Amino acid sequence: MSSLAATVQNIFDEPGCAKNGSKSKADRRKGCTRQLQPGSAAGGCAFDGAKIALQPFTDVAHLVHGPIACEGNSWDNRGSASSGSNLWRTAFTTDLNETDIVFGGEQRLCKAITEIINKWDPAAIFVYQTCIPAMIGDDIDAVCKAASQRFGKPVIPINSPGFVGSKNLGNKLAGEALLEHVIGTQEPDYTTPYDINLIGEYNLSGELWQVKPLLDELGVRILSCISGDGKYREVASSHRARAAMLVCSKSMINVARKMKERYGIPFFEGSFYGIQDSSDSLRQIARLLVERGAPQELLGRTDAVIAREETRAWAAIEPYKPRFKGKKVLLITGGVKSWSVVAALQEAGLELVGTSVKKSTKEDKERIKELMGQDAHMIEEMTPREMYRMLKEAEADIMLSGGKSQFVALKAAMPWIDINQERCHAYLGYLGMVKLVEEIDKSLSNPMWEQLRRPAPWQVLAKAMVQMRSPLAEIACDPALGETTRRAKEICFCNKVDLGTIEDAITAHGLISVEAVREHTNAVGGCCNRRIEGILAASPSALPQAAE
């Protein structure tokens, strides 16, 4: 376990991350994520983080070493799309039982690996460590090493048991495993000056395929995508890429940085979310490749493709402008998405009332300011209650967020769109933005929201009835009763001035300020200031006064 602890410490020291770099050495040791608070709802664990980061490798058998809890509840829960093998979707687990816990699970793991090799013969096996075998001391590194030698096939230990920390830490530990055991272990069949790596791109809903044709057109080859629609051989030979694009910096920055250090592969942080950002990313790719020796003409071709795609996308978004007039969006997501979709939404005529920056880096925040102005409503940490309030009070017409916030929107009866991993649509690239705008339009025009906001008709009726039966209504019908009530209700407790006296003074003299009421009555206007303001606001005399 000491090596795991060392790896974790290693991850916590990330020069590629500005936030991390600005921390003191002591703070850095504590890690990047807030310590979990026992008793509060929390997200996934380090195992989950490692699993979702690597699971999109399609031709790998992902074997979870642990009791049924870890794989049984989670298998095939991500919509990454594969263009080839479906092996990644098959759930493999050692399904440890009581006896294994007592006598150790290594034997069982060994057998499980053998059975996978015999039945499936995959390109590689990733063995995921979980809490229980880690606690009882199963040495999966040793088992994997032995199995690799015995079968002549990569069997990779992914040492990220749940208890070591957060999901994000798990993402990084997965990256470490790739760096340690996979990357650089094979050679590509051939290389070109146009080879790139995409790091931290998961091909959810097959969205990478909305961008890939553009890269194909430019002649840029994705040597390896880590890990969306990725193959073992590709990632194993990814060290020969000429440049890399880091798509989700939060999850895989360590991979990009270390590949730069080890293999001299320059990288940039970019995104294919949003039109401007897709263009920026394509340009960056071209620039880096040219810097590394690709022919200069790539830049020109890239610009041509960008110009064409942008024109097409803006034209497709244009018709939505009038429909979106005055519509306000609240964006609750993390990292790059906090700014990368902003431009497209703004272009479509939507107004952004806020974007969350919980998982965003300093650069992300700078970009937000660029796009939304200095006073951009950046929300560091938005509680569900606050989201609910913003939606309920119609400070926003629609919320774009991850799946876990959807019920907040639903309870506030406001439109909502999932832009995180569990979404059903692909929003990447130029087409993706058009699709997103289309989906926003659909959601805004969904008649369901109207239905959601409307109370049951009989409740409206009942409310009206209650109002009719209320003292106010009675007073309206019976002036004498009204007079008594008015006189009985004290407003200024200090000098005992009643509501009737104040109302009469307001009506008689056309008073419009607390100051004036004080002059004409005995009211102090101190602790009763608010109450008098209320009476002034409700007073009918305010109207003729204004009319005159």
Partner 1 sequence: MAQSAEHVLDHLELFRGPEYQQMLDKKKMFEDPREPAEVERIKEWTKTPEYREKNFAREALTINPAKACQPLGAVFASVGFEGTLPFVHGSQGCVAYYRSHLSRHFKEPCSCVSSSMTEDAAVFGGLNNMIDGLANSYNMYKPKMIAVSTTCMAEVIGDDLNAFIKTSKEKGSVPAEFDVPFAHTPAFVGSHVTGYDNALKGILEHFWDGKAGTVPKLERRPNQAINIIGGFDGYTVGNLREIRRILELMGIQHTILADNSEVFDTPTDGEFRMYDGGTTLEDAANAVHAKATISMQEWCTEKTLQFVAEHGQDVLSFNYPIGISATDDLLVALSRIGGKDIPEQLARERGRLVDAIADSSAHIHGKKFAIYGDPDLCYGVAAFLLELGAEPTHVLSTNGNKAWQTKMAALLASSPFGQSCQVYPGRDLWHLRSLLFTEPVDFLIGNTYGKYLERDTGTPLIRIGFPVFDRHHHHRSPVWGYQGGLNVLVKILDKIFDEIDKKTNLLGKTDYSFDIIR
If the CB atoms of residues 82 and 276 are measured against partner 1, the closer one turns out to be 82
**Number of Cβ within a 10 Å radius of residue 240:** 18
**Number of Cβ within a 10 Å radius of residue 179:** 17
CB of residue 156 to partner 1, shortest distance in Å? 24
Query: Is position 467 an interface residue for partner 1 (rule: CB under 8 A)?
Result: no
With beta carbons less than 8 A apart as the criterion, state whether 492 and 510 touch. no
The 3-state DSSP class for residue 378 equals: strand
If the CB atoms of residues 169 and 208 are measured against partner 1, the closer one turns out to be 208
Cα-Cα-Cα-Cα dihedral sign, residues 314, 320, 322, 327: negative
Burial of 413: CB neighbours in 10 Å, binned 0-12, 13-18, 19+: middle
Query: Is position 490 an interface residue for partner 1 (rule: CB under 8 A)?
Result: no
Q: How many CA atoms lie within 13 A of 13 on its CB side?
A: 8
CB of residue 80 to partner 1, shortest distance in Å? 9
CB of residue 5 to partner 1, shortest distance in Å? 35
* Separation between Cα atoms, residue 273 and residue 339, nearest integer Å: 9
519-522's contacts with Cβ under 8 Å and 24+ in sequence apart are: 521/492, 521/497, 522/492, 522/495, 522/496, 522/497
Scanning residues 42 to 101, which ones bind partner 1 (CB under 8 A)?
76-77, 79, 81-84, 86
CB of residue 217 to partner 1, shortest distance in Å? 22
If the CB atoms of residues 86 and 507 are measured against partner 1, the closer one turns out to be 86
CB of residue 394 to partner 1, shortest distance in Å? 17
Total residues at the site for partner 1 (CB under 8 A)? 28
* Separation between Cα atoms, residue 114 and residue 108, nearest integer Å: 10
CB of residue 418 to partner 1, shortest distance in Å? 9
CB of residue 222 to partner 1, shortest distance in Å? 17
Choice from 422, 498, 504, 533 touching partner 1 (CB under 8 A)? 422
If the CB atoms of residues 85 and 279 are measured against partner 1, the closer one turns out to be 85
If the CB atoms of residues 10 and 421 are measured against partner 1, the closer one turns out to be 421
CB of residue 61 to partner 1, shortest distance in Å? 17
Amino acid letter, residue 481: L
If the CB atoms of residues 189 and 450 are measured against partner 1, the closer one turns out to be 450
Angle at 472 between CA 467 and CA 473, to 5 degrees: 60
**Binding window for partner 1 (CB under 8 A); candidates: 174-182, 292-300, 354-362, 445-453:** 445-453
Choice from 2, 34, 380, 458 touching partner 1 (CB under 8 A)? 458
Choice from 445, 470, 513, 545 touching partner 1 (CB under 8 A)? 445
Query: Is position 322 an interface residue for partner 1 (rule: CB under 8 A)?
Result: no
Q: Measured in whole angstroms, how far is the alpha carbon of residue 541 from the centre of its chain?
A: 52
If the CB atoms of residues 38 and 322 are measured against partner 1, the closer one turns out to be 322
Scanning residues 424 to 443, which ones bind partner 1 (CB under 8 A)?
424, 442-443
With beta carbons less than 8 A apart as the criterion, state whether 235 and 211 touch. no
Bridge-based pairing of strands 398-401 and 416-418 is parallel
Residue 232 neighbours by CB under 8 Å, 6+ apart: 57, 59, 60, 122, 123, 124, 154, 182
If the CB atoms of residues 47 and 449 are measured against partner 1, the closer one turns out to be 449
The 3-state DSSP class for residue 62 equals: strand
Choice from 99, 107, 459, 513 touching partner 1 (CB under 8 A)? 459
Scanning residues 214 to 253, which ones bind partner 1 (CB under 8 A)?
none
Token pair for 445? 């025009």
Query: Is position 448 an interface residue for partner 1 (rule: CB under 8 A)?
Result: yes
* Separation between Cα atoms, residue 379 and residue 356, nearest integer Å: 4
Query: Is position 206 an interface residue for partner 1 (rule: CB under 8 A)?
Result: yes
B/e letters for 458-467, b = 16+ CB within 10 Å, e = fewer, are eeeeeeeeee
Choice from 447, 537, 543, 547 touching partner 1 (CB under 8 A)? 447
Amino acid letter, residue 34: R
**Binding window for partner 1 (CB under 8 A); candidates: 19-27, 385-393, 450-458, 494-502:** 450-458
Residue 90 neighbours by CB under 8 Å, 6+ apart: 61, 120
If the CB atoms of residues 54 and 177 are measured against partner 1, the closer one turns out to be 54
DSSP annotation of 329 reads E
Query: Is position 457 an interface residue for partner 1 (rule: CB under 8 A)?
Result: yes
If the CB atoms of residues 77 and 467 are measured against partner 1, the closer one turns out to be 77
**Binding window for partner 1 (CB under 8 A); candidates: 132-140, 307-315, 447-455, 504-512:** 447-455
CB of residue 440 to partner 1, shortest distance in Å? 12
Q: Report how far apart, in Å, the C-alpha atoms of 45 and of each of 26, 168, 253, 383 are.
A: 24, 8, 19, 21
Scanning residues 390 to 419, which ones bind partner 1 (CB under 8 A)?
410, 413
The 3-state DSSP class for residue 518 equals: helix
CB of residue 85 to partner 1, shortest distance in Å? 9
**Binding window for partner 1 (CB under 8 A); candidates: 101-109, 275-283, 374-382, 453-461:** 453-461
Cα-Cα-Cα-Cα dihedral sign, residues 79, 80, 86, 92: negative
CB of residue 295 to partner 1, shortest distance in Å? 34
**Number of Cβ within a 10 Å radius of residue 2:** 6
User: From the CA atom positions of the chain, what is the Rg in Å?
Assistant: 31
If the CB atoms of residues 86 and 114 are measured against partner 1, the closer one turns out to be 86
If the CB atoms of residues 82 and 130 are measured against partner 1, the closer one turns out to be 82
**Binding window for partner 1 (CB under 8 A); candidates: 22-30, 33-41, 454-462, 522-530:** 454-462
Q: Which residue ranges make up the site for partner 1 (CB under 8 A)?
A: 76-77, 79, 81-84, 86, 205-206, 410, 413, 422, 424, 442-443, 445-448, 451-452, 456-459, 461-462
